[in-house]
Amino acid sequence: MQKLGAATISNIRFQRLYGVGYKTIAKALGLSPATVFKYAATLPLSNFAQENILASEKDNQIKFAEKFAKEKSIIYPKVDEYFVNLLGHLFFDGSVYQSGKKYVLSYTNSSLLAIKNFEFLIGYCFSLTPSKLICYTGIKIPWFESKVYSKKAYNYLLNVSSSFSTSDPVGVPKIIFDSSTEIKSAFLVAFWDDEGCISNTGCLSGSSNSLKMISDLVKLHDSLGIKCHKLTQKRHKSQIIADQQSNSTTFLGLLSSKPCKKPKNFQCLL
């Protein structure tokens, strides 16, 4: 620790008695905060000095928040194949939620390709970049979670659907039912990407905790000429079964296609 002259020590104490913070004094005099603290910590401070210190700390907190916690600017998406494909992923393997002061859009999958597709869609639709990519150790294989923080995107999405949790009685958003064949197909692609599975007998099925969502998906398939039926399983889990044999051409034509023409780095999983 530096050995100081009487004039410097006097200057430290004078500034501290006026209510100047340790770091501010240290910066002004070219000293370390620890050195300033050594010579000023025991000084009795007046109410005026204490108020100055509190005001300075509050001002620093505001400046820090303005610099590091500033809300990200976004673009607002139009209702196209990209956006409804993103909506589907947020419903089926994703989530939109608030945690404390954080507004989160997240997506989980064991496939890094699926994660990259999600991140592309977030960037394309909202001009946002992922805030965090987490790798979890699964029982058999690892799985990944991509998180994006944005209050503006969160609020925008809640105008489309009041919830993105299929534990709630949510269904297919009205804007999708009222849209074109391409829009409907892009939403269904996300469902089959995230929830679809095929048995060794060739039965194609997908499940959801939301009976309303499954019922709406049956209607959405039907509007495209694809016959499906729903099956309610134990623990209130509902399932959609695609009758692929009787309408395989229609099914594959609509749901095996990519949501829309897109850059080379975007790949649909179907």
Q: Would you say residue 262 lies in a domain?
A: no
Q: Are residues 117 and 168 in the same domain?
A: yes
Q: Report the C-alpha gap between 243 and 256 in whole angstroms.
A: 15
Quote the pLDDT of residue 163. 92
Nearest CA to 202 among 241, 165, 176, 170? 241
Q: Is the pTM of this model over 0.75?
A: no
CATH number at residue 235: 3.10.28.10
User: What tokens were used for 81?
Assistant: 């194949």
Q: Are residues 28 and 158 in the same domain?
A: no
Quote the pLDDT of residue 95. 95
Q: What is the pLDDT of residues 92-148, one digit of tens each?
A: 999 999 998 889 999 999 999 999 999 999 999 999 998 889 888 877 788 899 999
Q: Which domain holds residue 19?
A: 6-68
Quote the pLDDT of residue 73. 82
Q: Report the C-alpha gap between 104 and 101 in whole angstroms.
A: 10
Span of 80-84, 114-118, 143-147, 192-196 with lowest mean pLDDT: 192-196
Q: Report the C-alpha gap between 25 and 33 in whole angstroms.
A: 8
Q: Are residues 101 and 63 in the same domain?
A: no
Q: Is the pLDDT of residue 216 over 50?
A: yes
Q: Would you say residue 209 lies in a domain?
A: yes
- Residue the block writes with tokens 């989530």: 95
User: What tokens were used for 22?
Assistant: 């340790």
Q: Report the C-alpha gap between 21 and 66 in whole angstroms.
A: 21
- Mean pLDDT across the stretch 202-224? 86
Q: Report the C-alpha gap between 267 and 29 in whole angstroms.
A: 59
Percent of the chain with pLDDT over 70: 81
Provide the domain count of the chain. Answer: 2
User: What tokens were used for 120?
Assistant: 């592309």
Q: Which of 41, 68, 95 is the last residue of a domain?
A: 68
Quote the pLDDT of residue 59. 81
On average, the pLDDT of the chain sits at 83
Q: Would you say residue 27 lies in a domain?
A: yes
Q: Would you say residue 268 lies in a domain?
A: no
User: Is 106 or 249 the better-scoring residue by pLDDT?
Assistant: 106
